[in-house]
Amino acid sequence: MSLRRLLLLPILCATLGAQMPVSPDAVQARYTKREVLIPMRDGVKLFTSIYLPKDTHQPHPILLNRTPYGVGPYGPEAFRRGVGPSPFFAKEDYIVAYQDVRGRFMSEGTFVDARPVKPAKGLKDVDETTDTYDTIDWLVKHLPDNNGKVGMWGISYPGHYTVQGMLCGHPALKAVSPQAPMIDLWEGDDSYHRGAFQLAANFGFFLFFHSQHDQPSAARPRITEVGTPDGYRWYLDAGPVGGLETKVKQAPEEIWEEYIKHTTYDAYWQARNLRPWIKDVKPAVLTVGGWFDAEDLFGALACARTLDRQSPDTDSHLVMGPWTHGQWAGGDGSRVGNAEFGSKTAAWFEQDVELPFFNHYLKGEAGPTLPKATVFETGTNQWRNFDAWPPKQAKPRSFYLESRGRISFSRPNATDGFDAFVSDPAKPVPYTQDISFDYSAPYMTEDQRFAARRPDVLVYETAPLKEDLTLAGPIHPVLQVSTTGTDSDWIVKVIDVFPDDAPDPADCPRGWHAGGYQMLVRGDAIRGKFRNSYTTPEPFVPGKPTQVAFTLPDVFHTFRKGHRLMVQVQSSWFPLVDRNPQTFCDIPHAKPGDFHKAEQRVYHSADLPSRIEVLELKDAGTKAGPPDPGGWMRL
């Protein structure tokens, strides 16, 4: 989950970075390593690898990272390549502790996926908040030369544990940085997006993640091979989701089985939604996310919004950069796919935001005052500061879909009108041109010309813009649709179309040109039967117009003068999302006879106006970051 495939790489790189390599020898020269089993209140012991600075002239703060992915290398003489959130921490002499969570690798106990928070706890009742509390309590009482202040950080699943940790209530916990955290796995994070199952991410993840834990072990699980790089063809041939696992694995994976059993927003998922628990948070919080994170963009934004709404007294800050999942810790952040951003955005964040944040709250150092929101504006390639996110000065605006593929800024006045396409589950729309079994992370900026040419994708666009258009906040499609089936997925993509004479970047890939580039800015899906309720799905009445409205995660993007704003609407996005048979049924266990073609209509009349509701920003806010990084996208 988060890193729900072979995306362990960003997590493993979280302590390495790409800008300042650190060697195990350098770490060993500066630190002493200890491996301990820390007892929890119920007697279970959690394996913790601790790096103690050799400098004992002054007390040091503690940084804690809790993970299900292993804290290795294991052994008192085996050292990591770097310690702490980034290489910029290399000379800061933090005490850094890495912990295998309950039931993983060298820790005792039973692993529970996204273990729910327990509302009332007895003396022996445990969850991730109590495990965090007990760990912090042990660390501050048993580690020499610590100053009694603790911070936590983590990306993805460890980011989820960081959110749980900030709820633990230990007085020594002063600062936390949940980065790309999982907050609600069903509504918008790794598992489902409003009922649309994230097939490639989840199945690929469980090819290497095995939750069974007979006894503590440092051994990493063997990755199950599927024998082909062509995920589109493999998933199509494999059939419904319910039968996939038996095609490659002998023993079932319990968590996978739970996922495909709980297809609605039932008690299983509601118990794993962290938003109800984010209240009265005491430590300072630095929430970090990436605009092009295909896994946990939802989680970062939901974490920050929930803190603002339910814990308004918390010293809370948001950073959103132009990054894929964990890219700020495993790359330089200068580009995603064909989109270039004009500077090494990851290094600036690590050195000028993340490091000063922890140094201020854990070491008492004076540092720059962080704004409420530090966000990167794509399209102009500029960091901006705001006192709220979305910006208070952003104003609602609607773009209406019209006939002949046009987008209008005013409500249509036609008495009738619709566009139609045939959606065929046997030939779903691919989400990427790449031939890959694991999902291709750069798809979040991928050129959509390949999709625009398909007959089962509706395309709408503005005329060339006469002035810059900046969107800042969530995007809310409100579609008036009908289908000849009884269920249907609806995918909406918002795209920046470059002028035909746009110059190619300096390192333009062979065979690709920036002129006419249809850059995906944001796209997401809803399973249509959940259009009115996440808990109680309902079929469509064939041929009857009905409204499908949902919310795409936020953007901060400027469509430059001369560019066009495009919207694409489709009913499949494969194998990012599993196929909807377009029959109201239990989709994971659908039979071949349940899969049918369906005619999909999108209406755009005065009575049935389909539109995209956005927040438009005229005042771009205060500049932040390195001076005017430029980049070809600004041209």
Q: 523 and 378, same structural domain? A: no
* Structural domain count, the chain: 2
Element (H, E) at 471: strand 469-483
- Domain-embedded: residue 626: no
Q: Which residues pair with 275 in a beta bridge?
A: none
Question: Which mean pLDDT values do the consecutive 10-residue runs of the chain (635 residues) have?
Answer: 39 39 88 98 97 96 98 96 95 97 97 94 90 98 98 98 98 98 98 97 89 87 87 95 81 89 98 98 98 97 98 98 96 93 96 97 91 98 97 97 95 92 98 90 95 98 98 98 98 98 86 94 98 98 98 98 98 98 97 97 97 92 68 59
The rounded distance, in Å, linking the Cα atoms of 491 and 503 is: 30
Q: Do residues 438 and 204 make contact, with C-beta atoms less than 8 angstroms apart?
A: yes
pLDDT of residue 175: 98
- Domain-embedded: residue 256: no
- Domain-embedded: residue 113: yes
pLDDT of residue 367: 77
Domain membership of residue 74 as a residue range: 8-183+274-386
Q: 417 and 312, same structural domain? A: no
- Tell me the CATH number at 470: 2.60.120.260
Q: 423 and 355, same structural domain? A: no
- Domain-embedded: residue 313: yes
- Domain-embedded: residue 510: yes
CA distances from 240 to 226, 232, 260, 486 (A): 16, 13, 11, 18
The structure's pTM equals 0.95
pLDDT of residue 632: 54
Structure tokens belonging to residue 15: 């302590």
- Domain-embedded: residue 635: no
Q: 438 and 332, same structural domain? A: no
Q: 359 and 399, same structural domain? A: no
Contacts of 142 (CB under 8 A, 6+ apart): none
Q: 88 and 165, same structural domain? A: yes
Q: 605 and 471, same structural domain? A: yes
pLDDT of residue 223: 81
> 386, 404, 435 — which closes off a domain?
386
The rounded distance, in Å, linking the Cα atoms of 488 and 526 is: 9
The rounded Cα 110 to chain-centroid distance in angstroms is 26
Q: 150 and 99, same structural domain? A: yes
Cis peptide before 428 (omega within 30 of 0): no
Instruction: Tell me the torsion sign for CA atoms 221, 225, 229, 235.
Output: negative
- Domain-embedded: residue 242: no
Find, among 214, 217, 215, 225, the residue nearest to 249 by Cα.
225
Torsion-angle region of residue 49: left (phi > 0), alpha (psi -120 to 50) or beta?
beta
